[in-house]
Chain A
Amino acid sequence: MNSNIWLLTFADAISIATTLILASLGAIITERSGVINLGVEGMLLMGAVTAFVVADSTGNLWFALFIAVVVGVVLSSIHAALTVGLRANQIVSGLAMVIFGTGLSQFIGKPIEGDPLPVVIRPLELGWLADLPIVGPVVFGHDVFTYLTWVAAGGASFYMHRTRPGLTLRATGDAPATVDAQGGSVARIRWAHTMVGGALMAFAGAWYMFARAAAWNQAATTNGIGWIALALVVFASWRPLRAIGGAVLFGFSLQVPFTLQALQIRILPPTIVAMFPYLITLAVLVLLSTPRARRLLGAPKMLGQPFVRDER
């Protein structure tokens, strides 16, 4: 019995990790171009509520996911317009995106609060793989998107480190003036990656809605996962593959309190545990504020810095 509940905990950790990987992958891609988007939580909520509403009226899961992605692109392009186009402060704009995304999703989601899910994402039937001891239930009991997410992380890593546009992307986060001098468009690269990042974040929310959540529960639906994804970016040193391991670890630590509760072991009051995501985010932001820490952690050198060409 006890060993079963721990297997479930591991399986849940991997499942939660899917959202974390998707969201932090979005953040990594965005940040590698030099743009920091703190609005992840808002993007998750918007992705989730959009997917719910669209699925509710059409019954089509794929269409719902698609519209959620479109919403992610639109929202993140607002962030790009402010920070890349108008060179506004990225932190302020990002926090505004959280408030905006949270508020708008609650407004949209009010009528459907507590309704049953119109569609769900079900785990794949993997036959004998799922019957393997331990590995079966932990690794092979997930839905198709979980596996695709791992592939996506590998793809992102390959893109960043082994392809021409990836090289330019990393250069844009580290030395935008260099890219500019070579005729590359810093603005275009930042716009594009901020939008792709936003799409991934919103998709992460939509997936979470149909695969993990029981119902739309307003802002509590995602419960701070977006903030954890941001911390995960730092933990993974802006590398997509490291985000997978980090996400499982973070997912596990998110799941453990529930397991302990189920086992009637009480270490910390749940209200304290609920504070963790925000504490971690705060710690990350403080950490990122010193140039030395940024360098040691491997942050893109010009993260958060608007690019202005050095005109004579």
Chain B
Amino acid sequence: MQHNAEVPLALAARAVTKRFPGVVANDQVNFDLAHGEVHTLLGENGAGKSTLASVLCGLYRPEAGQVVRDGKEIRLNSPRDGLTHGIAMVHQHFRLVDRFTVAENVVLGHKSLSFVLATAEIEAKVAAITEKFGLPLDPRAVVGELSAGERQRVEIVKALYQGAEILLLDEPTALLAPPEVEKLFTTVRAMTHAGKSVVFVSHKLAEVVDISDRITVMRGGKVTGSVRRGEADVRRLAELMVGREINIVARRAKSPVGDVLLSASQVHLERDGTAMLTDINLEVRGGEIVGVAGVAGNGQRDLAEVIAGLRTPQQGNVTVCGVPTAGSGARGARRAGLAYVPEDRLGTGLAPSMSIRDNLVLTRERGFLVDRKSALLEAETFIKQLEIKTPGPLTPTRKLSGGNAQKVLLARELFALSGARVLVVCSPTRGLDVGAVETVHALLDEARDAGKAILLVSEDLDEVMTLADRVLVLYRGRITLERSGADTNVERVGRAMAGLAT
């Protein structure tokens, strides 16, 4: 949508600077939003786009610069101030009360609410909003029982109920399956038709091209470029995001696959009486990567933990290198030759306060005394080989950046003296910058070529499609699709992730 000079901009940031300890998250950033426009802020994690959105909604106060609403400078000291100016942010992590109904969540904290709640009236009003903007929701449903997509709708309805004219959506597609993303886009269009403006914060390049009237790219706290609808070229945007040319090349197994090193058969897991995994059968051979795709919360974590020995399934067997491991605990699985890289790399994977060297020793099983000399040598080798940015091998791992911590963890699990033949790795690149993602992918690729069997559990569909020789889709604890890398297409997998495939 064109914006012309006569109509003031709905919202603008003028030379906004925001610092956090050790980092300038926004450095003299300019950004504007016309009425009825969808303007996307695109950038890698840590590019500063969420920070900018937080400044615009009043959550953060910038050190310098101005926020301008309809041509007038406004001062926002809290999100509540933002709301009084009609600006609302829908956060990536929902802020809802699980035990409340949709309607109760929508009105919670609303200023003009009467002392005694007019429940029927509120529910009718909520229903009217859901209808107008294509947000199917039952006002009386309990939020704790809703899916991620539905919860997001509650957040959007809440913002609209409070009279928001400008909506800032922070990574709104992160938790959604592809069909739910389509629904979200329908809603966004309905909102702009009604004259509202939307700031769409995302790092998913491919997705935003369709929905955006304009795309502004950020990198390292600065705006690196801005393109209008129709001018958007995926390759150009990617370069703006990353700052150099990138090649997204699928990495597949180069050598023929070997023996089955990891298998699970008829695994069934229940938690609190609810089936988390049902009839899971899978095999991973040496020299291949099997990717498990799925929307968050469909049992990926349980699957990884069952295989890693952290959970004991009620039924079924898990075999690592020919040894049955179900029920023998994490140590049993590890002894059989399994390595596990959990999603929470710093909390579960590494001991944050211990040094890189000591973390490498943690999984060694032989000997009572620690062989510090060989551990130090090992640490130094890894730091050099994997280009881990750190003052030295004795630096505590909590001081490392996400990417570097992941490198340490992968090095330990894949290549250390205790090296295993089977690897279970969960969301290995979540929160990493592009450079680190490439390194991690290269490491996994290398491990595959070395004949290891790798089970890659990831919510990042692109990652699975890039790396995996075979793809499994997990939906509500069942494997609903299995395809080998060559004949998968993204759409098919996306449909299965949403539970639509047959």
Contact = CB atoms under 8 A, between A and B. Distances in A.
Interface of A: 162-165, 167-168, 170-171, 174-175, 177-179, 181-184, 292, 301, 312
Contact of A164 (B79, B95, B98, B115): B115
B100 to A, nearest CB: 7
Contact of A301 (B80, B99, B107): B99
A164 B100 contact: no
B109 A179 contact: yes
A182 B117 contact: no
Given A183-B80, A183-B109, A184-B109, A174 B97 contact: yes
A250 B180 CA distance: 51
Contact of A168 (B78, B95, B109): B109
A182 B79 contact: yes
B104 A167 contact: yes
Contacts of B114: 164
27 contacts: A162-B119, A164-B113, A164-B114, A167-B104, A167-B107, A167-B108, A167-B117, A168-B108, A168-B109, A170-B97, A170-B99, A170-B100, A171-B108, A171-B109, A174-B99, A174-B100, A175-B96, A177-B95, A178-B108, A178-B109, A181-B91, A181-B95, A183-B78, A183-B79, A292-B272, A301-B99, A312-B20
Contacts of A292: 272
Most chain A Cβ neighbours within 10 Å, of B80, B95, B104, B119:
B95
Interface in B16-30: 20
Interface in B100-151: 100, 104, 107-109, 113-117, 119
Nearest to B50: A312
B31 to A, nearest CB: 20
Contacts of A164: 113-117
B328 to A, nearest CB: 26
B115 A174 contact: no
A184 B111 CA distance: 10
Contact of B108 (A163, A182, A312): A182
Contacts of A183: 78-80, 109
| Central interface residue in A162, A167, A174, A301, by most chain B CB within 10 Å | A167
B117 A163 contact: yes
A181 B97 CA distance: 12
Contacts of B20: 312
A182 B109 contact: yes
B96 A182 contact: no
Nearest to B82: A183
A177 B96 CA distance: 9
Nearest to B119: A162
Contacts of A179: 108-109
Given A164-B115, A183-B109, A171 B100 contact: yes
Interface residues of B, number: 22
A170 B101 CA distance: 12
Given A162-B116, A162-B117, A178 B95 contact: yes
Nearest to A179: B109
Interface in B240-278: 272
Nearest to B117: A162
A91 to B, nearest CB: 23
Contacts of B79: 181-183
Nearest to A180: B95
A292 B97 CA distance: 18
B47 to A, nearest CB: 15
A179 B80 CA distance: 11
A301 B78 contact: no
Nearest to A158: B116
B116 A163 contact: yes
B96 A178 contact: yes
A84 to B, nearest CB: 19
A175 B97 contact: yes
Given A179-B108, A182-B95, 15 more contacts: A162-B116, A162-B119, A164-B113, A164-B117, A168-B108, A170-B99, A171-B108, A175-B96, A175-B98, A177-B95, A178-B97, A181-B79, A182-B109, A301-B99, A312-B20
Contacts of A171: 97, 100, 108-109
B162 to A, nearest CB: 9
B24 to A, nearest CB: 14
B115 A163 contact: yes
A175 B97 CA distance: 6
A68 B97 CA distance: 36
A90 B341 CA distance: 36
Contacts of B95: 175, 177-178, 181-182
A39 to B, nearest CB: 27
Nearest to B271: A292
Nearest to B20: A312
A183 B79 CA distance: 7
Contacts of A184: 109
Contacts of A175: 95-98
The residue among B98, B99, B107, B115 with the most chain A CB atoms within 10 A of its own CB is: B99
Contacts of A168: 108-109
**Nearest 5 pairs between A and B by C-beta?**
A182-B109, A183-B80, A178-B95, A175-B97, A164-B113
B83 to A, nearest CB: 8
A165 B114 CA distance: 10
A182 B80 contact: yes
A171 B108 CA distance: 8
B1 to A, nearest CB: 31
B440 to A, nearest CB: 25
Contacts of B99: 170, 174, 301
A177 B95 CA distance: 7
Nearest to A172: B97
A90 B84 CA distance: 36
B40 to A, nearest CB: 22
B278 to A, nearest CB: 21
Nearest to A178: B95
B98 A301 contact: yes
Contacts of B113: 164
Contacts of B96: 175, 178
A312 B55 CA distance: 13
Nearest to B83: A183
Contacts of B272: 292
B12 to A, nearest CB: 24
Contacts of A312: 20
Contacts of B119: 162
A164 B109 CA distance: 8
Contacts of B78: 183
B169 to A, nearest CB: 16
A56 to B, nearest CB: 41
Contacts of B109: 168, 171, 178-179, 182-184
A170 B154 CA distance: 18
A204 B427 CA distance: 55
